[in-house]
Structure 1
Amino acid sequence: MTNKPSFWRKYRYQLSGSVLVLPFWFLYQSMTPVFPPAWPAQQVGDFEITPMPLDLEQPYVHHEAYVKDFMLMFNKGKIGDIRQGYVNIGPAPLPLGILQQTEDGILHGNRHGQHVHAIAPATFAATDKMWVTIETWQGQQLTASWELPETLLK
């Protein structure tokens, strides 16, 4: 009777070594992210804003609502002058009264970039735009919109 080695006994050192290498591969991937190109900058009151989607995927469910992640870079203007800011995607901007009812769509971050889970429909339509609504400490409401690129409308 021959004692044939099992798969585990034959390859256990190679499998163990690959398990030790995998964390370095995932660390490399997390340290070198690839983002889609930024959209054109627009002047919104005293602010110049450049939005950038974090991926080209369709919206996902977050707290029982569909959202799309963006980073907004403020090239001009002081972030401290913003009382509240929101982003939504749709045919028209949502009023501040509706935007204030949930935590989705709120700009948050620092002076280098504001992150937002933009309120979005389940799928994008050709008539949808990305809307940024900002209220300053003086009560001034500013709104700007960007056309959605073809890559997001797939």
Structure 2
Amino acid sequence: MRRLWQRGKFHLSALMLLVPLPFLPNYFSPKPIFAPPEIRRDLTAGAFPLRLVTYDEAPHWGGNGERMKEYRIHLRPADIDRVRGVFLRVGKPRNLRAAGALGFGNPYEREAEVAVPAEPAGTEELWVTVEDWNGQVHQASTPLAGFLGGK
């Protein structure tokens, strides 16, 4: 009986190594397995065409008590070296100090988490501020109403 258990342990451990193999392609794919549909907007801020992408889900409550929404910012590969920073904000920024949430992460796909109003009126705009390495500031806006997601 003891010898049977020793042999069974060996085969059981080999089986446990083989069970996750069918799930590996999904694990290494860049897109989440159960991702909600995306909402995309193409904008041009000065000389920089960019694409804003967000998931079609409702904003979540952040740790600071505000509703937060995550946006991804895609720049053209030719513009990546020219852009110093990309900022997102609901409402027109007064100056560069109040430009909003800075896009961070991978230069090809930056992410920014923006504070959105708890009860939007439908007239708000999402402003994108792009600063290049020469210090020039370029801005563009898009209506927030159809770009908030998850009503």
TM-score bin, normalised by smaller chain: 0.5 to 0.7
Identity %: 24
How far apart in 2 are the matches of 1:153 and 1:125?
16
* TM superposition shift of 1:151: 6.3
TM-score scaled by length of structure 1: 0.64
Question: Residues 2-151 of structure 1: matches in 2 within 5 Å?
Answer: 31-63=32-64, 65-75=66-76, 77-90=78-91, 92-99=92-99, 105-148=101-144, 149=146
Distance 1:123 1:153, change over 3 A: farther
Q: Where does the alignment leave 5 or more consecutive residues of structure 1 unmatched?
A: 1-23
TM-score by length of 2: 0.65
Q: Secondary structure at the match of 2:134?
A: coil
Shift of 1:66: 3.8
The structure whose RCO (Cα within 8 Å, separation 6+) is larger is: 2
CA RMSD of aligned residues (A): 3.0
Hey, what's the Cα distance between the residues in 2 that align with 1:144 and 1:45?
Answer: 8
Note the C-alpha offset of 1:150: 7.1
Cα deviation for residue 64 of structure 1 reads 5.1
- Structure 1's consecutive aligned runs of 4 or more residues displaced over 6 angstroms after TM superposition are none
For residues 66 and 148 of structure 2, what CA distance do their matches in structure 1 show?
22
1:85-125 deviations in Å (ceiling 9; x for gaps): 210123x23522224xxxx6111122321111123222322
